[in-house]
Amino acid sequence: MIELENVSVVFGNDEKKVEAVKHVNLKIAKGTIFGIVGYSGAGKSTLVRVINRLQRPTTGIVRIEDCVLNELNEKELRQKRKEIGMIFQHFNLLETRTIGENVSFPLKYNNISKEKQRAKVAELLKLVGLEDKVDAYPSQLSGGQKQRVAIARALASEPKILLCDEATSALDPKTTKQILELLQHLNRELKLTIVLITHEMQVVKEICHQAAVMSKGEIVEKGTVLQLFSKPQKKLTAEFIKTAFQQEEIISKLLQHTDLKADETLVELAYTGDITNEPLLIELYEKFRIIANVLYGNIEYLQETPMGKLIVSFKGSEANKTKSLAYLKSRGLKVRSLEITTLGV
Ligand SMILES: Nc1ncnc2c1ncn2[C@@H]1O[C@H](COP(=O)(O)OP(=O)(O)OP(=O)(O)O)[C@@H](O)[C@H]1O
Ligand SMILES: [Mg+2]
């Protein structure tokens, strides 16, 4: 659906050059919710603006389906942009216009009768759950409601792609969740391809199918959300992932308060997929006489796939502990011995 080939964007002149996007290659399949994560200044907004050509790439090719954006003239580009809706962090609504007028704004130059426009606006506002606000003004709406209006407006031209630049970062967690659910609904119902920029890994975890991590203009890692969360290859990805789970802090607190005996060892066990039917810890006792005591457990679901983490203390002989760890590894678990002194801080 969207393909970027070796795309770079350079701002400024030779004296003061900013390479906002560097040699980015990206393919986003139709119907995907694709997340782009990165710290401030990473180049996320610039990259996403390249997709609807609000930003012209300095070099590289942008394809939407089979159309090469670089080759379009202004008129063709305007036409093409109707297929690509965009919403922003700060909603960008026209304050002096009603909600209905805001939503119908993109329809204005489409030669659609007033009546049809009204019907379309009603349909869109219903879709985002704001049918009673058609005559209200933006200042009378909450942030979450304004973002819904912005989404309705972006959908007015019946786009195939929706670009969201930090669409939820001005919203509280509950409203964020509602907006994300709405985006997920639109993805499923309208088969909309969504590119979602965010600095919150939590957002990626909630709704994205795939994601890319950006740093200093480059994509440092990309993959399915499950791949990124279960086996991050880059330090930056791991750092972002930690922010989506509050467990690090809990574990560190827990370890501070844990009093281990001399023959006890702490182990972190992580797994992906369904192993809930397997009594692994009991097997450890039966096979190796290791007494495993669970100190912490957590399961998160990533697109229906469970990802679990346990902190367990192992009691038994050192040789049997080693065998136990090898056994758990052979059963597909990720195993890590923890040092209380290093983790408890
Ligand atoms: N029009 C411009 N002219 C010059 N430099 C720019 C321009 N737009 C962006 N930049 C620079 O390009 C880099 C990437 O900016 P961009 O807005 O894409 O980052 P971002 O990842 O979206 O950050 P944030 O999370 O803060 O929105 C930054 O160093 C920024 O200063
Ligand atoms: Mg930005």
pLDDT, tens digit, 9 for 90 and up, residues 69-103: 888 888 898 888 889 999 988 888 999 999 999 99
Q: Is 20 a pocket residue for ligand 1 (Cβ < 6 Å)?
A: yes
Residue whose Cα lies nearest atom 27 of ligand 1: it is 40
Q: What is the pLDDT of residues 148-191, one digit of tens each?
A: 999 999 999 889 999 999 988 888 888 888 889 999 999 999 89
Query: Secondary structure of the chain in the HEC alphabet?
Result: CEEEEEEEEEEECCCCEEEEEEEEEEEECCCCEEEEECCCCCCHHHHHHHHCCCCCCCEEEEEECCEEHHHCCHHHHHHHHCCEEEECCCCCCCCCCCHHHHHHHHHHHHCCCHHHHHHHHHHHHHHCCCHHHCCCCHHHCCHHHHHHHHHHHHHCCCCCEEEEECCCCCCCHHHHHHHHHHHHHHHHHCCCEEEEEECCHHHHHHHCCEEEEEECCEEEEEEEHHHHHHCCCCHHHHHHHHHHCCHHHHHHHHHHCCCCCCCEEEEEEEEECCCCCCCHHHHHHHHHCCEEEEEEEEEEEECCEEEEEEEEEEECCHHHHHHHHHHHHHCCCEEEEECHHHHCC
Question: Is the domain 247-343 a CATH 3.30.70.260 member?
Answer: yes
Q: Is 315 a pocket residue for ligand 1 (Cβ < 6 Å)?
A: no
Q: Is 13 a pocket residue for ligand 1 (Cβ < 6 Å)?
A: no
Q: Is 199 a pocket residue for ligand 1 (Cβ < 6 Å)?
A: yes
What's the CA-to-centroid distance between 39 and ligand 2, angstroms? Answer: 9
Looking at domain 2-235, its CATH architecture is: 3-Layer(aba) Sandwich (3.40)
Q: Average pLDDT per run of 10 along the chain, which is 345 residues long?
A: 95 88 96 94 94 93 90 88 89 92 86 88 92 94 91 91 90 87 92 93 90 95 91 89 75 77 85 78 92 88 83 91 92 80 40
Residue 344, pLDDT score: 36
Same fold, 2-235 and 247-343: no
What is the position in ligand 1's atom list of the atom closest to the CA of 39? 25
Q: Is 309 a pocket residue for ligand 1 (Cβ < 6 Å)?
A: no
The Cα angle at residue 245 between residues 239 and 251, in degrees rounded to 5: 95
Q: Which residues surround ligand 2, an ion (CB under 5 A)?
A: 45
Residue whose Cα lies nearest atom 31 of ligand 1: it is 41
Number of residues in the chain: 345
Residue 59, pLDDT score: 95
Q: Is 44 a pocket residue for ligand 1 (Cβ < 6 Å)?
A: yes
How many alpha carbons fall within 13 Å on the CB side of residue 214? 31
Q: What interhelical angle do 318-330 and 280-288 show, nearest 10?
A: 140
Q: How far does CA 270 lie from the centroid of its chain?
A: 22
What's the CA-to-centroid distance between 44 and ligand 1, angstroms? Answer: 8
Residue 164, pLDDT score: 94
Q: Order of strands, edge to edge, in the sheet holding 17-28?
A: 17-28, 2-12, 59-64, 67-68
Q: Is 43 a pocket residue for ligand 1 (Cβ < 6 Å)?
A: yes
- The residue ranges of every structural domain in the chain are 2-235, 247-343
Q: Is 18 a pocket residue for ligand 1 (Cβ < 6 Å)?
A: yes
Q: Is 97 a pocket residue for ligand 1 (Cβ < 6 Å)?
A: no
Measured between alpha carbons, how far is 324 from 239 in angstroms, rounded to an integer?
A: 29
Choose the residue to mutate in 45, 48, 54, 195 for probing ligand 1, maximizing ligand atoms within 8 Å of C-beta: 45
What's the CA-to-centroid distance between 192 and ligand 1, angstroms? Answer: 27
Measured between alpha carbons, how far is 57 from 194 in angstroms, rounded to an integer?
A: 21
What is the position in ligand 1's atom list of the atom closest to the CA of 89? 27
Sign of the C-alpha dihedral computed for residues 298, 301, 302 and 306 taken in this order: positive
Burial class of residue 216 in the structure, from the number of CB atoms within 10 Å of its CB (0-12 exposed, 13-18 middle, 19+ buried): middle
What's the CA-to-centroid distance between 19 and ligand 2, angstroms? Answer: 15
Residue whose Cα lies nearest atom 3 of ligand 1: it is 11
Contact 20, 45 (CB under 8 A): no
What residues have CB less than 8 Å from 190, skipping those under 6 apart? 155
Position of tokens 């964020």? 176
Contact 214, 220 (CB under 8 A): yes
Q: Is 38 a pocket residue for ligand 1 (Cβ < 6 Å)?
A: yes
What's the CA-to-centroid distance between 46 and ligand 1, angstroms? Answer: 6
